Structure 1
Amino acid sequence: MEIPDELKTLNREIKDKIAGRKSPRRIWVTSLSFCLRKAALSIYLGTSKYERTGDMLLGTLLHKWVQENVEVGDIEFEVPLEYKISDGWILVGRADAILGDKILEFKLKGFNQENGPGSLKEMEEPSWTWKEQLNAYLTMAGLEEGYIYVFNRDGLDFKHFKVEKDKELFDKLLRRAWVVIRGVEELDQGKFPAWITPRRSDECDSCPFRPICAAIDKPWEKSR
């Protein structure tokens, strides 16, 4: 029997409340640049707040330092952003700062000759994940232009890179969000989304869900 859309929404709301979940359910922009199976498991199990890495904590300290030491008019820090994907799902993020009509993202990076540019001066562009995330924030905020400030972890010298809004890039991100939504819905139904594999095998090395995936399959072998 076909269930009307209104009843599907009602049924989902009831199930979410029984499970103690907030509605609508949220997908963080930053999670979509990495393993989508991990993103689905994190949402389903509600573990995102426990998954902070050392680099993320250092980044938080950088944001705090900038906020406490830089005085510029018309600037807002830690600005929450949302984008409705569908009934029951929203894409969320937090811009490091908005200065006038520009979004600013602050990133901390170490440099060595064996892994990318050997110095900040030699760096010609920021990582694609940073550009992808800033592009999403621009779309969510309805702005056209932003800047990624890359700080050298050794000495706190910095360099900035301009990023302009790219609709096609954001559409690709949304398609990955729908993969996560489908994965979470399967988990809700008692199924495991084994069809979602990591984008890079090394993502599995430090993933908190590795034991779960190892019991079902070994996605790090499929991604090679």
Structure 2
Amino acid sequence: MENPDGLETFNQEIRNRIAGRRSPRKIWVTSLSFCLRKAALSTYLETSKYERTGEMLLGTLLHRWVQENVEFEGIKFEVPLEYEIADGWVLVGKADAILGDKILEFKLKGFNPENGPGSLNGMEEPSKTWKEQLNAYLNMAGLQEGYIYVFDRDGLDFRYFRVEKDEEAFSKMLGRARVVMTGVGELEQGKFPAWIKPRYTNECDSCIFRAICGAIDRPWERPT
């Protein structure tokens, strides 16, 4: 028998309260550019606040420096964004800044000619993950255009790159969010989502869930 409209969402809300989980249930935009198994574990165990890396902390300092030192009328910093997915799940993120109808993202990058461009001027475009994240924010905010500001970690020079809203790419990101939702659901049932594979081959090296995955599945040992 099919549940009436809204009843399953209501039932899930009861289950969430019994399990002590907050509602709405949040998936962070930044987690969807990497291993979705990690995102599912992080969401299920509510460990995201413990997963900040040194690189992320440097990025936070950059955001704070821009906010405290660049005075410009009409700009808003650290703007929270939300997008309702389904069944009490919400995609969440924070735009570094919004200036009028443009979203601005600030990124810090070191340059090494052995594994990428050797300088800021040699950089042709920002990384795929950065563009994915900014595009998600554009779709969540209903805006058409944004800019990624890339700061040289050594010299604090910068360049900026234009990104246009791409609804198809955002649809794919929502598909990744639904993979996380399914993975969390399996974890709640006592199953392990071994079918979710890392997106990049080196992700397992520094992952805080390596021991958990290693006890059940060792994705870093599979040939790429």
Q: What is the TM-score of this pair, normalised by structure 1?
A: 0.97
Q: What is the match of residue 215 of structure 1?
A: 215
The one-letter amino acid of 2:191's match is K
Moved more, 3-12 or 195-204: 3-12
Q: What is the match of residue 174 of structure 1?
A: 174
What's the secondary structure of 1:58's corresponding residue? helix
Q: What percent of counterpart residues are identical?
A: 76
Q: In structure 1, how many angstroms separate the alpha carbons of the residues matched to 2:108 and 2:6?
A: 46
1:104 aligns with 2:104: yes
Q: What is the match of residue 48 of structure 1?
A: 48
Q: Offset of 1:82 from its aligned partner?
A: 0.4
Q: In structure 1, how many angstroms separate the alpha carbons of the residues matched to 2:98 and 2:53?
A: 25
Q: What is the match of residue 87 of structure 1?
A: 87
Q: In structure 2, how many angstroms separate the alpha carbons of the residues matched to 1:220 and 1:8?
A: 37
Q: What is the match of residue 17 of structure 1?
A: 17
Q: What is the match of residue 113 of structure 1?
A: 113
Q: In structure 1, how many angstroms separate the alpha carbons of the residues matched to 2:139 and 2:165?
A: 7
What's the secondary structure of 1:82's corresponding residue? strand
What's the secondary structure of 1:119's corresponding residue? coil
The one-letter amino acid of 1:20's match is G
The one-letter amino acid of 1:218's match is R
The one-letter amino acid of 2:40's match is A
- Structure 1's consecutive aligned runs of 4 or more residues displaced over 4 angstroms after TM superposition are 1-5
Q: What is the match of residue 161 of structure 1?
A: 161
Q: What is the match of residue 75 of structure 2?
A: 75
What's the secondary structure of 1:117's corresponding residue? coil
Q: In structure 2, how many angstroms separate the alpha carbons of the residues matched to 1:5 and 1:167?
A: 27
CA-based RMSD: 1.2
Deviations 1:54-105 (A, max 9, x none): 0000000000000000011110000000011112101000000000110000
Q: What is the match of residue 31 of structure 1?
A: 31
The one-letter amino acid of 2:179's match is V
The one-letter amino acid of 1:210's match is R
What's the secondary structure of 2:119's corresponding residue? coil
